[in-house]
Amino acid sequence: MPDPAEQLQRIYLAGFELQTFERYPNAIGVIREGCIALLRSIPSGLEMIGAPGWRMGEVLGVLVEKDGRQVFQAKSEVVEATPERLETLQRFRADLEELLTAQA
């Protein structure tokens, strides 16, 4: 079983920032290049809560389709999901998934 502390260390050493948020007391935020994912500890290690998104202040902007185009949205705030942002998010997710499943 992966040790959550070892997983967090591996994630941190790979260049991700770790941050806690008052509004998500049972999760830790993992941030890099504007992308964010929330992780929680379960008996088998750390897992992502939902899908990663775009950091919009203290919240996670979820990728949605609005008026026929893709955007990141957090409540009424909207950020354009440019091809560059989508590529950054895809790389972020792939790197994070690899780190979460890597064996020590």
In this prediction, residues 18-33 reach a mean pLDDT of: 92
User: pTM of this prediction?
Assistant: 0.92
Q: What is the pLDDT of residues 75-93, one digit of tens each?
A: 989 999 999 999 999 999 9
Q: What is the pLDDT of residues 27-74, one digit of tens each?
A: 999 999 999 999 999 998 999 999 999 999 888 999 999 999 999 999
Tell me what pLDDT residue 21 has.
Answer: 86
The contacts of residue 104 (CB under 8 Å, 6+ apart) are 2, 3, 6, 10
Tell me what pLDDT residue 104 has.
Answer: 58
Helix (H, G, I), strand (E, B) or coil at 80: strand
DSSP 67: T
